[in-house]
Structure 1
Amino acid sequence: MIQRVQTLYLFIVLLASGVLPFFLNLWTDAKGIEVYAANEILYSSLFVASAVLAVISIFAYKKRKNQFVLNRLNMILNLFLLGFFVYRSLSLSGETVVSEKGIGMLLPIVSIVLLVLANRAIKKDEDLVKSVDRLR
């Protein structure tokens, strides 16, 4: 479990979805108030759901096919989160004082890239197991 590279990728997804959104601001509004994931219930619940899926996927290391499907679900969840951020960022810049987008809006992109890398490593493990079964 720990020695597999996809576990490392999933642990970084856990950090990017479960910890960082509550410390990195998502955006700054026109009044200069920084908005974090803890301030918005929709964003915090989606980030926590992504982190929970990553934890479940880490502990599903014996069932590679289920782990692959869980990672795909996590990617879809992060795409929804990214869509909400794109919508929010396009609706923010209509004031005379321009709002700033925070670095926290990029966290779903980081998570998606890491989940793709984890799925690639899972597929490689599955192919290795299938090739060994063929030799028997």
Structure 2
Amino acid sequence: MIQRIQTVFLFLVAVSMIIVISFPIWQQVNPEQTQMVTLNAWSLTTTDNASQEVIKSEGNIYLGILAIIAAGLASFSLTQYKNRTKQMFLNMINSLVMVVTLALIIYTSHQANAEINPDVNGAFVLGFWAIFGGMIMNLLANRFIRKDEMLVRSVDRIR
């Protein structure tokens, strides 16, 4: 139901998780060795700054799969507007999936940072911050769904 604000929030959750899939999550430049390490949803790639040649690439497909699951859960929850309790449950599961994704990203970036250059921290970029945006939108959607549910229950009590 497009008239409800939680529909917009759930759509924004799905969009933010697609941004996580599409954009880099973490980057670190090692000036001494002229290397750049980039973490995205699918791989951890080390490239040479001078020639832009890929030196090493490790697959991290689990980050991409978790982001797709979170986007899918948000989209499915968007269609469940007639059953508000089921919608709140799906959003709770989606919050857990996003927290696990965030924890794995932090763990992976910490491991890569320790391996490449432990003295300098890398920078989290757009893909990382999109997860936080998605989590906030998910919490707001749950808040408004709960508000609707309480309104319906209060109207039923008056009858």
| The two structures share one fold, judged by TM-score above 0.5 | yes
Q: Describe the SS at the equivalent of 1:32.
A: strand
Greater CA deviation, 106-115 or 45-54? 106-115
**Structure whose CA Rg is larger:** 2
AA at the equivalent of 1:37: A
Aligned residues: 135
**Percent identity over paired residues:** 33
RMSD (Å) for aligned C-alpha atoms: 1.8
| Mapped partners of 2:6, 2:37: distance in 1 | 37
**C-alpha distance in 1, partners of 2:21/2:101?**
15
Partner of residue 103, structure 1? 126
Write the letter of the residue equivalent to 1:6: Q
Q: Which amino acid is the alignment partner of residue 71 of structure 2? A: A
Counterpart-to-counterpart distance in 1, 2:135 and 2:90: 13
Unaligned runs of 5+ in 2: 44-59
Structure with the larger strand share: 2
Tell me the secondary structure at the aligned position of residue 93 of structure 1. helix
Question: 1:126 corresponds to which residue?
Answer: 149
Q: 5+ unaligned residues in a row in structure 1: which ranges?
A: none
Whether the 8 Å CA contact 2:21–2:67 is kept in 1: the answer is no
CA deviation after TM superposition for structure 1 residue 33, in Å: 4.8
Partner of 1:6: 6
- Tell me the alpha carbon deviations over residues 85-107 of structure 1, each in whole angstroms, 9 at most, x when there is no partner: 12123223223384443321222
TM-score (normalised: structure 1) = 0.89
Give the number of the structure whose residues are more often helix, by fraction. 1
